[in-house]
Amino acid sequence: MRRRWLVTVAITMTSVLGLTACGGGGGTPTDKASGGGGDAKKQVEVFSWWTGPGEADGLKAMRAIFERENPNLTFFDAAVAGGSGDKAKAVLQSKLQAKTPPDSFQGHAGAELQGYIKAGDLEPLNSLYDELKLRDVFPAQLVEQISTGGQIYSVPVNIHRSNVLWFNPAVLKEAGVAGAPKTIEEFIAALGKVKAKGKIPLSIGSEWTVTHLMESVLLGSLGTDAYNGLFKPGANWADPAVTKALDSFKTIMSFAGDPQDDWQPAAQQVANGEAAFNIMGDWAYGYFHNPPEGGLGKQSKTDFDWAPSPGTEGTFLWLSDSFTLPKGAKNRDGAVAWLKVAASKEGQDAFNPKKGSIPARKDADTSLYTDYLADSLKDWGGDKLAGSIQHGVSVNQPWLASINEAVGLFLGTKDVAALQTALADAAKANTQ
């Protein structure tokens, strides 16, 4: 298992750059649309990491609106595959350093964007917010998270929940587990019961999914206020309460199955009845629920079910996908046209039900958000809020890189003390 983790970590820039041809565009963008006849259309290069079932379907739905409303433009999908966007971010950084930015790129709202802002890579979007009156339709806390010094640098298209426990009801019943565990202690006991029945207690994907798991365990063990306090200057990552949380994380990881290539095959193990539990963001809902051409076509409450991850009920561990306007965009007008669609009610209502997320806008058509998504809308409006680590709300990219490195080493050593020291060092280096 250790060898497999090391292989996934060792991505060279050469191999990463080879991924730039991935995605719906299928080639290098040019100023003219491919194909003969008619007037030339200017391309708009939109960079993301949405290539999997559900997420790619949502992007396709928003793309259709964009091309309908902008017949003089054509959408170039420059998506780079890979779960939480780690590979895509490496490719993006190389493009920004080469002064060849895409026209718009995806980024998680919050601390993740700070590096781009400080490097001068982004244009502020205040004038667009004024034109579209977006401050009236986006939650105030969300606008605050994507603002720096009074400037707004991205357009959020959705809200995701990180702390979701997905489970297979039949596997739990077979193991004698009455329902979704509500505490960390109940979770560990349930994992043991599933293991005794010969099923995979907990499915995991590539390494980033383990950091994703860890943030839910930290929140479930520490509580909302203490968790949020970890990301403030002077936070005490050496606190005994953090030690207890990481000890629980180690125990939970001892029940994990073999790591899958990414989050989708790990989620599929739950849907197919091979595994009992998976802690993953609510983008998994689109994958579980969407028809087979874009998902697994599974039946909720029968093939899969959900609950807040253990210990986190009443707290929404959130993240938001957003799009930016890079300085030096080749087709700036086209990028602004894309941002207008991403910000629109129609665009968000087309995108989010397929993606498995809820809209960033407050005026969405609630009839479109049923089943899990109805639960998410309700909780977003009433729960306490905590920001995701892995998905860029609470930590910037250098800090996240240090956390992921610490988690990667822990997967080999299982040394909680070393993990805690590394997490404390990372916090000190990035909050001074």
Best CA proximity match to 25, nearest among 5, 58, 48: 48
* C-alpha to C-alpha distance for 390 and 319, rounded to whole angstroms: 9
Q: Which residue has the tokens 């109805």?
A: 374
User: What is the CATH class of 9-157+321-366?
Assistant: alpha beta
Tell me the domain boundaries of the chain. Answer: 9-157+321-366, 161-317+392-431
Res 93: pLDDT: 93
Return the biggest CA–CA distance within the chain: 69
Best CA proximity match to 242, nearest among 154, 405, 250, 352: 250
* C-alpha to C-alpha distance for 96 and 328, rounded to whole angstroms: 10
Res 143: pLDDT: 87
| DSSP string covering 285-304 | HHHHHS-TTTS--PPBTTTB
Q: Which of 139-143, 254-258, 425-429 has the lowest mean pLDDT?
A: 139-143
First-to-final CA distance of the chain: 36
Q: One fold for both 9-157+321-366 and 161-317+392-431?
A: yes
Confidence bin at 28 (pLDDT 50/70/90)? very low
* C-alpha to C-alpha distance for 289 and 23, rounded to whole angstroms: 23
Helix, strand, coil percent content, the chain, rounded in steps of 5: 50, 15, 40
Confidence bin at 39 (pLDDT 50/70/90)? low
Mean pLDDT of 160-168: 97
- Which pLDDT tens digit goes with each residue over 357-392? 999 999 999 999 999 999 999 999 889 999 999 999
Tell me the angle at which helices 55-69 and 332-343 cross, rounded to the nearest 10 degrees: 120
Q: Side-chain half-sphere of 147: how many Cα atoms within 13 Å?
A: 14
380 contacts: CB under 8 Å, gap ≥ 6: 159, 161, 316, 318, 358
Would you state the structure tokens that stand for residue 403, as one six-digit string? 């956390």
Mean pLDDT of 326-355: 96
Q: What are phi and psi of 300, to 5 degrees?
A: -65, 150
Size (the chain), residues: 432
Q: Which residue has the tokens 């004698």?
A: 176
Mean pLDDT of 318-337: 96
Q: Note the Cα 291 to chain centre separation in Å.
A: 22
Res 31: pLDDT: 43
- Which pLDDT tens digit goes with each residue over 198-224? 999 999 999 999 999 999 999 999 999
Q: What is the SS3 assignment for 275?
A: strand
In one-letter notation, the amino acid at residue 224 is T
Res 14: pLDDT: 37
* C-alpha to C-alpha distance for 243 and 432, rounded to whole angstroms: 23
Whether the predicted pLDDT of 33 surpasses 70: no
Q: What's the CATH number for 161-317+392-431? A: 3.40.190.10
**Percent of the chain residues past pLDDT 70, beyond the cut:** 90
Q: What is the SS3 assignment for 204?
A: coil
Q: Do residues 219 and 301 make contact, with C-beta atoms less than 8 angstroms apart? A: no
Q: Do residues 405 and 422 make contact, with C-beta atoms less than 8 angstroms apart? A: yes
Res 53: pLDDT: 75
Rg of the chain taking only CA atoms, in angstroms: 21
- Which pLDDT tens digit goes with each residue over 125-162? 999 999 999 999 998 878 887 788 899 999 999 999 99
